[in-house]
Amino acid sequence: MTPTLAALGGGFRAEIQQLRRSRLLVVLTVAEAVIFLVLVSIFGLTANHVPTAIVDSDGGHLSHQWAQDMSNTYHTYGVRYMDARSAQQALARGDVAAVLYLPANFSQRMAHHTMTRIHFHVDNVNADLANEVELGIPAAARTFAVHNHFPGIRVVSAESDLVRNEVGFVPYLVVSALALAAFVVAGTLAASAVAREYETRTLAYLKLSPTHPLIPLSGRLLATGAVSAVAVAVAALLVVAGYRVTPVHPLEMAAVLLLCVVIFSCIGACIGILVRRALPLSALIFGLALAFYLDSGSLEPARFYGNWLWGIAHTSPVYYAVGILQHAVHGLRVTPETIGVNFAVLIGWAVLAAVVAWLALRKAVVA
């Protein structure tokens, strides 16, 4: 074995031993990564199907159909049948966001095409939610009228969709979150490995290495990268098994997650050199991950944010990673750039991050 390989292997083994001694830290790092999955799931769960009570005083065929149309229209309402008293209590408690009162003669009036008043009480807890709840009503009314072939409807829309099998919001979000989980895990572990060298003042000893002083440190980063890859694989399996998301292109998914681990390990090493203390690293990287989240197309294609935010998105590797991940898992194209371009840019990012990390480490060790 050459001295270079021996030094690389030595650094690798030393870091693995270090991580084995700090199992709690590894567990906490993975827990921090999983936060993103939890975060986006909670966010996604409240984005649709706003709980809405229907007080059906009619009970006829058409009132049931109205409720069903409301329930089926664009994922807006999560319809629950209640009596008037329970509905009012639920609205006061905040268990439902709105109550719709279908009057006693609703079906008869609709059948006779008589104008009917429906009362709709909305909990305007915030402007966004109140607006969304109100905006769903014309759509439901129109669907009901079109289904029943009411006369006088002069305009309808004929919709064609870009994607045949529409992806749910939560499955979309958790796939994007995998790139950020990779950032949190790989970034934190690599940054901690470098910062520890400063804190324990062992960086100077690297100069005594019979090979290039950065080789043992590279071995350590390889070890953190390997552990990160396993942690990200666990998160990916959680997405596949827990959220029942089956990747369309599993190899593509594995490749992009591995690339993310490489890039974020190098970025983490640079952060470790800058901060030189392990204490604030996890919080700092968590905060940075949120900044990446802002503008990576994690909620919807970033292009729709407008030119300014879309331009900024290009400065983040997460943008390209999310683009590839959505294609690999759901078969979606969420960036104007092709998958080939996204991969090329990510590889460029990996090379750039590795070079910058190498130069920064060299400067740190020599200094």
Partner 1 sequence: MISGPARGLRQTWTLAAHDVRQWWRAPWAIAAALIPPVALGLLAYVLTFNLGHQPIALVQESHGRYADHIAGIFHAQSGDLYSLTSTDKANATRLFDSQQVAAVVVIPPGFDAAAARCPALQPDQIIHDYTYARSGCPAAKLLVTVDNANSNFAGEIRRALSETVGFFDAPDVVTPVSETQLDMSDLNPYRVNVMTALTRANTVDYIHYAVIPCLVLLILSVGVMGTALLCARDIERGTARHLALAPASSVVLVAGRLLGGVLVSLLVVVPVLAIGTLTGLISPPPGHWPALVLLFLATAICAAGLGAVIGATMRGARAVSMAAAVICTYLFFLGGGFTTIQFLPSWLRHITTFVPTRYAIDGLRQSLFYPGMYGFGADMRVLLGTAVVVVVAGGVFVRRAWSR
Phi–psi pair at 204, nearest 5 degrees:
-65, -30
**Which residues within the stretch 286-305 sit at the binding site for partner 1 (CB under 8 A)?**
286-288, 290-291, 293-295, 299-301, 303-305
Whole-angstrom Cα distance, residue 332 to residue 252? 13
Q: From the CB of 313, what's the least distance to partner 1, in Å?
A: 12
**Which residues within the stretch 81-120 sit at the binding site for partner 1 (CB under 8 A)?**
91, 93-97, 100, 109-120
Tell me, residue by residue from 230 to 269, as one string, x for binding to partner 1 by CB under 8 A and - for no binding.
----------------------------------------
- Calculate the alpha carbon distances from 327 to 117, 164, 255, 292 in Å: 47, 14, 12, 19
**Which residues within the stretch 30-69 sit at the binding site for partner 1 (CB under 8 A)?**
31-32, 35, 38-39, 42-48, 50-51
Whole-angstrom Cα distance, residue 341 to residue 184? 25
Q: From the CB of 185, what's the least distance to partner 1, in Å?
A: 12
Tell me, residue by residue from 333 to 352, as one string, x for binding to partner 1 by CB under 8 A and - for no binding.
-xxx----------------
Non-local (6+) Cβ contacts of 293 within 8 A are 36, 180, 318
Burial of residue 75 (number of CB atoms within 10 Å: 0-12, 13-18, 19+): middle
Whole-angstrom Cα distance, residue 127 to residue 92? 18
* 3-state SS, residue 154: coil
Q: Which of 14, 25, 238, 356 binds partner 1 (CB under 8 A)?
A: 25
Q: Which residue has the tokens 């990673």?
A: 321
Q: From the CB of 279, what's the least distance to partner 1, in Å?
A: 5
Q: Identify which of residues 109 and 212 has a Cβ nearer to partner 1 in the complex.
A: 109
Q: What is the CA radius of gyration of the chain?
A: 27
**Which residues within the stretch 158-217 sit at the binding site for partner 1 (CB under 8 A)?**
158-163, 166-169, 172, 188, 192
Q: Which of 82, 122, 191, 329 binds partner 1 (CB under 8 A)?
A: 122
